Amino acid sequence: MTFAEPVPPITAGRIDTPLGPMLALVDAAGALVGLDFEGSDGTPTFSQRRLAREGLQTGPADPALIRPVAEQLAEYFAGRRRVFDLPLAPFGTPFQRRVWAALCAIPCGTAMTYRDMALRLDRPQAARAVGAANGANPISVIVPCHRLVGSDGTLTAYGGGLHRKAALLELEGARPPGLSAAG
């Protein structure tokens, strides 16, 4: 998986899902820049904060650019899609992008530990760095950061909330019996 560089302007659109509303950020070329679960308090999402740090603003929603994201998410939540084929353009460092590409290679229905991901990247001592890159993933669900779990099988941090991480793993059939949420 390769990632393009975002092409301004960035359009924002809300997508309703069974796990709550998500905000999709799509660039002028139609590539997904960010996808986050919205908070109930109206604070900016992770991706909106990242765009602000990059000095970019979101423009008015363009339904034609948001539609492919919404359609593929609907198929995923209905159990009819296991692989996404959207163009992606997240802001990130080379290492973060490498981790995110490796996340996209984890098959749907599979969970992996941070340590195993570090080994897969030939960086056996980098489990914490993998965790940090995973936590900086701006494209929830489609770049499946929810598929990484703690070395003891516990669910660990997820920007959308551990309840959503558990639900996503269960939807994919990847939540092993006894998998628990870490406090």
Spot the catalytic one: 145, 148, 149, 155.
Answer: 145
145 catalytically annotated: yes
> In 16-102, at which residue ranges do the beta strands (DSSP E only) sit?
22-26, 32-37, 58-59
In one letter, which amino acid is 104? C
Cα–Cα distance for residue pair 122/2, rounded to 1 Å: 18
| Alpha-carbon span 24 to 38, nearest angstrom | 10
- CB 55, CB 9: distance < 8 Å: no
How many CA within 13 A on the CB side of residue 75? 13
Residues 111, 154: Cα–Cα separation, whole Å: 11
- Residue 177, classified by CB atoms within 10 Å of its CB into exposed (0-12), middle (13-18) or buried (19+), is exposed
User: Looking at the annotation, which residues are catalytic?
Assistant: 145
